[in-house]
Amino acid sequence: MTSPHLDDTDRRLIEALQHDGRASYADLAELVSLSPAATRLRVQRLLDAGVVKVVGVTDPLALGYPVMAALGVRVERNVREVADRIADIAGVIYVVFTSGSFDLLIEVLCEDSARLLTVIDDEVRAIDGVRSVESFTYFGIHTHRFVWGAR
């Protein structure tokens, strides 16, 4: 798959949408000196190409999930199957394949530490092929960015 060519107008639109994904086409049009209709077509092209996704980002703390952790998982075999099983666990929001000390990195949100223990001990470790799990509990989020890649 080839990456679409992005010109300066596309990049300015991406930056504006990263700042406010609910901006109107009229407001975006003013930023890029195009008509609202032309701006809508540009944004739709970026969406169709998968360059941007406009989503609502939630705050886990505000939703009652104050316990967050990353889990490093070592797998004996069939890492994709293990990743699929882990992805089905309630509270798991992020699963990536890695190299190095772990085969998978998992991010999990929980309502309390008892639920985190259940996720680690009763759910992840119970999956056939999981060799070990190392947890990294978050004490707080220092930086959480969604603004990158436009330049």
Domains of the chain with bracketed CATH:
8-48 (1.10.10.10), 67-137 (3.30.70.920)
Q: What is the pLDDT of residues 10-65, one digit of tens each?
A: 999 999 999 899 999 999 999 999 999 999 999 999 999 999 999 888 889 899 99
pLDDT at 8: 94
C-alpha torsion sign, points 133, 137, 141, 143:
negative
Query: Are 70 and 106 spatial neighbours (Cβ–Cβ below 8 Å)?
Result: yes
What is the distance between the alpha carbons of residues 131 and 76, in angstroms, rounded to a whole number?
A: 6
pTM of the entire structure?
0.79
Which pLDDT score is estimated for 85?
A: 98
The residue that leads in pLDDT, 7 or 151, is 7
pLDDT tens by residue, 55-104? 888 889 899 999 999 999 999 999 999 999 999 999 999 999 999 999 99
- Give the residue-averaged pLDDT of 122-147: 92
